[in-house]
Chain A
Amino acid sequence: MQYFWLIPVISFIAFIITSLVGNKILKQAWIFPVVAIILGLGIYCFGLTEYLQSRFDLEHCVRSSVTGMVGCNYSVGWFSAGVTGKETVDSFLGFTVDPLSLSVAGLAIFVALMVQIYSIGYMKDDPRFGWYYSVQALFISSMILLALSDNFLLLYVAWELVGLCSYLLIGFWYEKPDAKEAAKKAFTVTRLGDVGLLIGVLLIWIEVGSFNMSDLFSYVASGQMESWVIFSISGLLFLGAMGKSAQFPFHVWLPDAMEGPTPVSALIHAATMVAAGVYLVARTYPLFVESEAMMLIVSIIGLITAIGAALICCVSIDLKRALAYSTISHLGLMMLSLGAFGYTAAILHLLAHGFSKALLFLGSGNIMHSIDDLDINRMGGLKSVLPGTTILFCIGALSLAGIPLLSGFWSKDEVIVSIVHNRNILFAISSMILVFLSGFYMIRLIITPFFGTQNRDYSNAHKLPMVMLIPMGVLAVFVVLFGWVALYMPGLPSSFGTFLFYSHPKNFHLEPDIASITLVVTLLSFGAGYLFYVKRISIFQTFKTRMKFLITIIENKYYFDELYQILVDKIVLPIASLVALFDRVLVNDIGINGPGHITRSIGSLIRYHVTGRIYVYLGLMTSGMIILGILWLWIVRL
């Protein structure tokens, strides 16, 4: 475990090598990143085994009095701030290994490996193949750094690095104006949240005097921190999490981010980076639970995001965008779960969703690769063309819809349990609506492209190489089997709930009434989807025409993009131009160019004495001599 720091370092070296030799020298640019990630996975597996088998009795490892989980800390001195000899504050460059970071890092490494292998086939003909792989390596390096970091400063650095990689990869095909705009939008919107995170981190520094997470937690646990400080710090951190996890009202960037290559969407914008917000809230959970109001805000934001995005997903006609809205909806569900004290449930859902959504995105990548179209109304009948993809896609979709025995079922069930137990009936009903909606849109995404009536010719569809199908198969195996860790986790006497928990271990137990209600709702949604999309019965058609107005609003994503456009045009840009005016007139023209202009005009006034005529200079010299002589006479003699 003490070698975990090697994982990001190896990937970073791969990033440097690939950037240097990428496209031009090395045709097979994927080699270094893939080897790096395989090495990383090896180190990770050894570390995980060591952690599980140690029975938590290791050097550097202590059971945290706050979270109750065993965390192992490895750090070296980084820098000292302040004047030597007077109350200096030492910062440490360290990483922490506890169940939370193990889970998120494991998800990131595993999905990244699958996606990178998949990309060998998917990105094969791209002219910037090497650049793609080098940014991928940089991304995975910073994502692992983000998961392992034990202090907020390093976390912030990694946080911004993953944002940068996201920006670079969304705008990977920068020849497309849409991709360019989407990259800028993603960067700008997440920046808004990042400002909150930065202020929050600085506030922690002011309050606690340390960037170290465990220092913060013990300070909070000691009860020295005032409640409004806790509220504002956790609120600011949550702002960062909202930006990165595309929570309402920062959700607008994620659907546009689908302009990037599909494997990027699978890795960054579905499985790992967008989960960083959830990870941040989970990581600073001791802070959040201290503030009841903040927990309520987290769950409300999560609920609004989840339901709003799920509704859009039901009407979206672009396959990838629909999946993106589904991602937003599930991220909202994780936030809701965190806000409802479902710590384990949220992380379990994060992992299950990560595997399933990566699988779904890779499936849509297959469709993209073979028929080069993403409009689900123009697809239909794909099952005969892409049988393998159909099966894999169905596994992922059903898992997220919550079909029993697939991983999504277990995690979703646990989320619902925590909501029902810890929040009031409104939340419970809303979560049931959410379950219905997610079942509905998933069945829609299965039926319409794969089983719907075939209305176009697929004869020139491209064949899929095995290098794309095998990683998806591995992911599908995980999707099917992973959920069982909710009941029994290999290497542990008991389930995932005793591995990753907050304050006290809690085994998962299936509550039959809640589970059966969820299942019934899911099946109802499937039935509705069947009637709607397969039978196309008339009552639904009339429903559709009656609710035309509502559907138009949903189809236009509640006009959020337009609202933001107006906001930017009418408020932000005028203020910005005012500031720019100040900058240009006062700072630039007067402050900086002013002295220059003065010097230049004085120079151009007095340069006329430089005639280049030597007798003029000599004459001036003589005049000076005469004046000196007269002065001498006057002062000394008179």
Chain B
Amino acid sequence: MLELIHFNILSVLLFSVGLYGVLARKSAILIIMAIELMLNAVNINFIAAAAFKHGGGLFTNFDGHILTIFIITIAAAEVGLALALILRIFRNKSTVNVDQFDMMKL
């Protein structure tokens, strides 16, 4: 039987993979992609929790879905801004490697 725990494990797996991408990658664009994976892991978690909701409690039936919609919205905004910033940095430094964004280092 399909249960909530399956979706949770799926989302944890996806989250960890995304985290690895964020930590291990050098290119800023790849880091953005990995962040999208992490956001999707969270979304899966939300929707699964809403779908398997049992009876009353603090949340109503659709709160998980609604939050997912907002997360997707914010993700769209975030990607737009982040990529604009990356373009800007690329224009100044001719690279998108986060290693080299260390102008504020002592």
Direct contact of A and B (CB under 8 A): yes
Hey, which bits of chain A sit against chain B, CB under 8 A? 607, 610-615, 618-619, 622
Assess the B105–A612 pair: CB atoms within 8 A.
Answer: yes
B77: CB under 8 A from chain A?
A: no
Contacts of B99 in A (CB 8 A): 613
Assess the B24–A615 pair: CB atoms within 8 A.
Answer: yes
Assess the A611–B24 pair: CB atoms within 8 A.
Answer: no
Query: Which residue of chain B lies nearest to A604 when distances are taken between CB atoms in the complex?
Result: B106
**Closest CB in chain A relative to B45 CB, distance in Å:** 15
Known: A622-B19, A622-B23. A615 touches B98 (CB 8 A): yes
Contacts of B19 in A (CB 8 A): 622
Assess the A612–B104 pair: CB atoms within 8 A.
Answer: yes
Assess the B106–A607 pair: CB atoms within 8 A.
Answer: yes
The binding surface of chain B is classed by DSSP as helix
Assess the B106–A610 pair: CB atoms within 8 A.
Answer: yes
Contacts of B102 in A (CB 8 A): 611-613
Contacts of A607 in B (CB 8 A): 106
Contacts of B104 in A (CB 8 A): 612
Query: Which residue of chain B lies nearest to A613 when distances are taken between CB atoms in the complex?
Result: B99
**Closest CB in chain B relative to A617 CB, distance in Å:** 10
Contacts of A612 in B (CB 8 A): 101-102, 104-105
**Closest CB in chain A relative to B103 CB, distance in Å:** 8
Assess the B23–A619 pair: CB atoms within 8 A.
Answer: yes
Query: Which residue of chain A lies nearest to B98 when distances are taken between CB atoms in the complex?
Result: A614
Cα-based distance from A615 to B20 in the complex (angstroms): 10
B22: CB under 8 A from chain A?
A: yes
Q: A611-B102, A612-B102 are in contact. List 19 more A-B contacts (CB 8 A).
A: A610-B105, A610-B106, A612-B101, A612-B104, A612-B105, A613-B98, A613-B99, A613-B102, A614-B98, A614-B101, A615-B22, A615-B23, A615-B24, A615-B98, A618-B22, A618-B23, A619-B23, A622-B19, A622-B23
6 A-B pairs within 8 Å (CB atoms) are namely A607-B106, A612-B105, A613-B98, A615-B23, A618-B22, A618-B23
Name the interface residues of B67-106: CB closer than 8 Å to any CB of A.
98-99, 101-102, 104-106
Hey, which bits of chain B sit against chain A, CB under 8 A? 19, 22-24, 98-99, 101-102, 104-106
Contacts of B24 in A (CB 8 A): 615
Query: Which residue of chain B lies nearest to A611 when distances are taken between CB atoms in the complex?
Result: B105
**Closest CB in chain A relative to B23 CB, distance in Å:** 5
Cα-based distance from A263 to B99 in the complex (angstroms): 77
**Closest CB in chain A relative to B99 CB, distance in Å:** 6
Cα-based distance from A619 to B22 in the complex (angstroms): 9
Closest 8 CB pairs of A and B: A612-B102, A612-B105, A614-B98, A615-B23, A618-B23, A619-B23, A618-B22, A613-B99
Cα-based distance from A619 to B105 in the complex (angstroms): 18
Query: Which residue of chain B lies nearest to A619 when distances are taken between CB atoms in the complex?
Result: B23
**Closest CB in chain A relative to B37 CB, distance in Å:** 15
**Closest CB in chain A relative to B50 CB, distance in Å:** 23
**Closest CB in chain B relative to A320 CB, distance in Å:** 65
Cα-based distance from A615 to B24 in the complex (angstroms): 7
Which of A610, A614, A618: most chain B Cβ within 10 A? A614
Contacts of A614 in B (CB 8 A): 98, 101
Contacts of A618 in B (CB 8 A): 22-23
**Closest CB in chain B relative to A618 CB, distance in Å:** 6
Query: Which residue of chain B lies nearest to A625 when distances are taken between CB atoms in the complex?
Result: B19
**Closest CB in chain B relative to A603 CB, distance in Å:** 10
Query: Which residue of chain A lies nearest to B100 when distances are taken between CB atoms in the complex?
Result: A612
Cα-based distance from A611 to B104 in the complex (angstroms): 10
Cα-based distance from A619 to B98 in the complex (angstroms): 14
Query: Which residue of chain A lies nearest to B28 when distances are taken between CB atoms in the complex?
Result: A614
Contacts of A613 in B (CB 8 A): 98-99, 102
Cα-based distance from A610 to B23 in the complex (angstroms): 17
